[in-house]
């Protein structure tokens, strides 16, 4: 267990303390798990119905900058940057040579010579090291992990709040814009990890407290509430969004995780391409499915999954109680022969509980 004194604090840490936050370690950072007087379920439901605000400053932030930086970065990552234009964002991954996932990340194309990337907190250092190693020396990698705060504004009332603050609201999904708010620079992005319509805003750490307070002052009439990373996890699980270290990892390929849409083998080069092409040729033996409880149970990671003949066919990678559906749901890596609507059984503390195989998302996505 990591000593809390060794963890990095968000610039908003004292504000979270004042709000009665319960903290947990996330990728080397001490971040709010939930807040006093609400808790994971209430925070989850408020995000689905009103407006939730998340401090996700633990996520990595870096600028890749130099002559044809986008083209060079494209030779490293799985997706094809040529498919987007400046001002647009793209989901991508960085693999090892064996075709397994080092990390997934969002890239924001500023120009052919400048790309913003946001990897996961725990993998940011490794991701930047791999990128530096594979880029031409004239391209600079600027690590802004502790210089830039990220605030997620998520929920059906997020657009109204953004308009009230006179921020750029006319953004398509997976697009962004560099802007200004009350005299300081921000980057506003139509992205998120909840499945709700929403935004993520990058703010310099010197201005993020001001931004946070103004969000809450203006958002009170919209039912604004702070949301911890506990509800962020239940929200993303309902969407079937993968979490690195659980649903994708150095033991799970993007094809097994159903992320082939972000792996473009038609382009000339990316790290791990040969392994992915071989995997495509021979086919995967397991695949990530959704399963939802038929009986009352809360599934958890690493619980074993069995078919109706009591043959083990895989295990859960992410499991939780769905506050929206009020039932247990999970992502599970199962034998490729598994079919949607199959009945399977999860070993929950020694008892076999019935689940139905389904295709995520478990609830309707409202990102667009």
pLDDT in tens, 133-160: 999 999 999 999 999 999 999 999 999 9
190, HSE (Cβ side, Cα atoms, 13 Å): 18
Angle of CA points 234, 247, 124, to nearest 5°: 90
**How far is 132 from 127, CA to CA, in rounded Å?**
9
pLDDT of residue 3: 53
Same fold, 4-60+146-238 and 62-143: no
Summarised one tens digit per residue, pLDDT across range 68-109 is 999 999 999 999 999 999 999 999 999 999 999 999 999 999
d(CA 334, CA 331): 9
- CA 174 to chain centroid, in Å, comes to 13
**Residue 70 corresponds to which tokens in the numbers above?**
């986008």
Q: Which residue has the tokens 């080397």?
A: 28
Whether 1 shows a pLDDT value over 60: the answer reads no
What is the structure's pLDDT at 5? 64
Is beta strand 114-118 parallel, antiparallel or unpaired with respect to 184-189?
unpaired
**What integer pLDDT is reported at residue 53 of this predicted model?**
98
Which residues sit opposite 90 in a β-bridge?
107
Closest by Cα among 276, 330, 324, 279 to 300:
330
- Alpha-carbon distance of 259 to 11, in angstroms, equals 34
Q: If 0-12 CB within 10 Å is exposed, 13-18 middle and 19+ buried, where does residue 250 land? A: middle
Single out the residue of 125, 117, 122, 150 nearest to residue 12, CA to CA: 150
Phi and psi dihedrals of 143, rounded to 5? -85, 115
Token digits of residue 367: 């990102």
Q: What is the pLDDT of residues 234-260, one digit of tens each?
A: 999 999 999 999 999 999 999 999 999
The superfamily in CATH containing domain 62-143 is Aminomethyltransferase beta-barrel domains (3.30.70.1400)
CA pair distance 320, 196, nearest whole angstrom:
19
In which band, very low, low, confident or very high, does the pLDDT at 4 lie, cut at 50, 70 and 90? low
Hey, where are the domains in the chain? 4-60+146-238, 62-143
- pLDDT, position 178: 97
**Which CATH superfamily is 4-60+146-238 part of?**
Probable tRNA modification gtpase trme; domain 1 (3.30.1360.120)
pTM of the model: 0.96
* CA atoms lying within 13 Å on the CB side of residue 209: 8
Q: In this model, does residue 288 exceed pLDDT 50?
A: yes
| pLDDT at residue 232 tops 60 | yes
């Amino acid at each position: 267990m990591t000593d809390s004194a060794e963890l990095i604090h968000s610039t908003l840490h004292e504000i979270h303390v004042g709000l009665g936050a319960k903290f947990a370690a996330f990728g080397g950072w001490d971040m709010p798990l939930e807040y006093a007087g609400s808790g994971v379920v209430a925070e989850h439901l408020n995000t689905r119905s009103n407006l939730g605000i998340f401090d996700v400053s633990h996520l990595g932030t870096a600028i890749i900058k130099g002559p044809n930086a986008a083209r060079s970065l494209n030779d490293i990552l799985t997706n094809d940057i040529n498919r987007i234009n400046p001002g647009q964002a793209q989901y991508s991954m960085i693999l090892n040579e064996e075709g397994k996932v080092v990390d997934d990340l969002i890239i924001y194309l500023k120009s052919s010579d400048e790309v913003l990337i946001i990897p996961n907190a725990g993998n940011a250092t490794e991701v930047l090291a791999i990128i530096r190693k594979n880029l031409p020396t004239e391209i600079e990698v600027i690590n802004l992990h502790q210089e830039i705060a990220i605030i997620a504004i998520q929920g059906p009332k997020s657009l109204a709040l953004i308009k009230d603050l006179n921020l750029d609201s006319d953004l398509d999904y997976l697009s962004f814009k560099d802007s200004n708010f009350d005299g300081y620079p921000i980057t506003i992005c139509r992205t998120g990890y909840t499945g709700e319509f929403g935004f993520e805003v990058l703010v310099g750490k010197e201005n993020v407290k001001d931004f946070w307070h103004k969000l809450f002052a203006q958002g009170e009439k919209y039912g604004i509430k702070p949301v911890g990373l506990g509800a962020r996890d239940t929200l993303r699980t309902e969407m079937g969004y993968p979490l690195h270290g659980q649903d994708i990892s150095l033991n799970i390929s993007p094809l097994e995780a159903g992320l082939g849409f972000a792996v473009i083998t038609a382009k000339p080069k990316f790290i791990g391409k040969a392994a992915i092409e071989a995997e495509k040729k021979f086919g995967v033996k397991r695949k990530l499915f959704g399963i939802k409880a038929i009986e009352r149970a809360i599934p958890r990671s690493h619980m074993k999954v069995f078919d109706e003949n009591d043959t083990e066919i895989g295990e859960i990678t992410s499991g939780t109680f769905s506050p929206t559906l009020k039932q247990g749901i999970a992502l599970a890596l199962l034998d490729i022969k598994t079919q949607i609507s199959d009945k399977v059984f999860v070993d929950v503390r020694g008892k076999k509980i019935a689940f139905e195989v389904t295709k995520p998302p478990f609830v309707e996505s409202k990102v667009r």
